[in-house]
Structure 1
Amino acid sequence: MNKELTGFVKAWEAAVRKSAGPKKRSNSIFTPMSVAHVDDDDESRHGDEVSQVEKILSNGDFFTGQWLDDGPHGHGKYLWTDGCMYVGEWQMGGIMGKGRFSWPSGATYEGDFKSAYMDGKGTYIGSSGDTYKGCWVMDLRHGQGTQSYPNGDFYDGEWRKGLQNGHGRYQWKNGNHYIGQWKNALFYGNGTLMWSNGNRYDGCWEEGLPKGNGTFRWGDGSFYVGVWSKDPKEQSGTYYPSGSCAGHLEWDPQELFSVDLLDCTVCACEKVSIYPSQKSLKMLEGVK
């Protein structure tokens, strides 16, 4: 992972640990000073009644929707000056419930929110067509989910902290596919890689490459079994032909690393420019 993603994940972990602690009543992001009625003579709002308001903030942000006491509550829309927008449910001044967040790039997220985080089940569609549908925890893909990539590749499986982790299946556009274990978006553990020409590798993986015991099979039934490593000095094995077929006797096992795996690159997910939870909600000061 790059330094920026590593830093975000560390902050994410700290936030998760904090959220697991004792529950405290959170302060509203809107102070009482920010409250402004649509009309000073409006007498239709009494006590806990929800009113409909439109408000322009001092920095140019805009909110329209339902209002209760000192903040948005119910359904509302918040538009930032940079073009980001949230439309959906609010609770006691915060983004909470079902909603849709859109970026100026054209990317969108629609689904569950908790305290402004993408959290629960939802669908993210990137500006390039990158699409994820599944579980989220605090803005990161976490749990079961499916990912479609702009180049036609597809992943269905488990995620952890924004990356493929656990068991999953990756399908390349050319027909190749991998089924097995993952760690930090790489093949790791036991797994099977199958090529569209009928060849396949079954065995152990480490950091995205065959490492340890494994078997490479050809479509004609012949196979090579042994200990695999990108370092030729650490590799050993035996070739078994199919019947009288000996067509692969001169095959170098290192070709698996230098040739066969070249068209099996796992795509990275589209980078989110800024997460909804990172967008500030300014105090409401004006009325329109």
Structure 2
Amino acid sequence: MIPSTKPAGRERAARGHGRTRGSLPWVLVLPAVVGLVFLVLPLAGLLVRAPWSTLAQRLTEPQVREALRLSLVTATAAMLLCLLFGVPLAWLLARLSFPGRRLVRALVTVPLVLPPVVGGVALLLVFGRRGLIGQWLEAAFGISLPFTTAGVVVAEAFVAMPFLVISVEGALRASDLRFEEAAATLGASRWIVFRRVTLPMIAPGVVAGAVLCWARALGEFGATITFAGNFPGRTQTMPLAVYLALEIEPEAAIVLSLVLLVVSVLILVGLRDRWISSP
């Protein structure tokens, strides 16, 4: 009988953990603590300075409620728009091989690194009244996107869609192709395979991508203010309301910031198993 090596392995692992705890690498620990404080301290300052005694009253103020309502509506509409176009785009990148696929993938991720204000300028040049497509939309259908609620949705979808595409493409690449091939050999069309087999398999990735997409749209500022402006009740979302209130009513800005902070924390908690879990 071959003697088991598991106890010895556990003893070595225990000794290794003991050495790690006994001799902390301070050259790494100290910068790590400073980095943690740097990230947490501003959030703590927001919580400390929040007007907790009048928080409920502040949340019911007309400008706060209107900004919150508009943000929720436009972020949800942007998420649905991203689902409509982003899921097929992710499938295209994950399932088909074609010339220039790497270039297309790089172009899809450009909004992730593009300054939002630059994205807003680019949207104006395309969808503005004198833009490449905007002038045609206005001449043919009387549609003008800049400085409208629809423009807010377009700006938010532009900056948020890469989150959905990346998440769904990753789920597609991790899924088992044998199920799709089996359905195809049984006579199912490509659309039926996608709807009845592929989508259920990648549903967690789609949900995670949609939530991240919605959160990114909810917090968008630069592209929105550049392409849609800052008009209360029409284009003033919560980030824009924070920017405006910071100059005239700081407490209202803090309340709106708290709402965005709570949404961000809830999203991270909801996606912890997929995005921030540790072994």
Q: What's the TM-score bracket when you normalise by the shorter of the two chains?
A: under 0.3
* TM-score, length-scaled by structure 2: 0.24
* TM-score, length-scaled by structure 1: 0.24
As a proportion of its length, which structure holds more helix? 2
Indicate the structure whose relative CO is greater, using CA pairs within 8 Å and at least 6 residues apart.
Answer: 2
